[in-house]
Structures are given as C-alpha cells and as structure tokens.
Amino acid sequence: MDKFIRVDMTSKEVKIGECPEKYAGIAGRALTSNFVADEVKPTCHPLGKNNKLIFAPGFLSGTNAANSGRLSCGAKSPLTGGIKESNTGAAPLVKRWPEWASKHLRSREFQQRTSFSSSMSRQMV
C-alpha cells in the first residue's frame, strides 16, 4: 500500500498522496484503528463532520493468496464512542462456485448431513 486517497465530502475534493511513514507496514484493521486514533479527536461527534471513515485493504489484497481480498472500514463508533472496524471480502471459491457446488452439493456425505439436520429440526419442533 503506497498511496493514500483522501476525499473531503464537503468540498468534493480528492487528494492522492504517498503513504505517511508512520503508516508504512500496517494495513487493514491496524491501519484503520491507528488512523482514527491519530486523526480523529476523541471529543468529536461520531456522526459529525470531523469523524473520518477509513477504508483500508489487507496486506495480501490483490494477490492470489487464499481469502486475501479483504477490506477493513473503520471510524469512531456512534454506538460506543470508541474505534470500531468492520471488514468484508470474498474467497476465491466464488469464481469456481458452479464447479464446487455441482461436485459437493450432490455428494452422498453432504446429503446425509443435510437430511440429518433437517430431520433433527423436525423432531425438535
């Protein structure tokens, strides 16, 4: 991660710059938390104009590593007033879902497991 993109939603101004030295070597949750701690005043209102919403890719985003397409979003939380983070991403399996589904969802083991679970849920009702 070598670029920072800052968007001012009030003026609609976009600035693209180099990654500050203090953020070099961190990504994802660590980056969002450090950024909020450094740049958002503890007294600012979580839904106010001084809070910042940070999107940060994980270290391995953009590589072929399994489950590496992760993105963290962080800000000051309106619920707790602390720093909160959420993340999202997809596994590479999504690209091969039809192939995987046709192989595994028709397997005897899968059908036995699902019929067992559904029979158990019927018995519990």
Question: What pTM did the predictor assign?
Answer: 0.64
Look at residue 59 in the predicted model and tell me its pLDDT: 81
Tokens 């999202």 belong to residue: 88
Claim to verify: residue 76 and residue 100 sit in the same structural domain: no
Short-list 98, 70, 95, 96, CA closest to 85: 70
Claim to verify: residue 9 and residue 55 sit in the same structural domain: yes
Residue 112 pLDDT grade (very low, low, confident, very high; cuts 50, 70, 90): low
**Structural domains in the chain (count):** 2
Look at residue 116 in the predicted model and tell me its pLDDT: 45
Give the lowest-confidence range in 31-35, 42-46, 58-62, 84-88: 58-62
Average pLDDT over residues 102-125: 52
Claim to verify: residue 66 and residue 10 sit in the same structural domain: yes
Claim to verify: residue 40 and residue 12 sit in the same structural domain: yes
Claim to verify: residue 77 and residue 99 sit in the same structural domain: no
Range of the domain at 25: 3-90
- CB 69 within 8 Å of CB 95: no
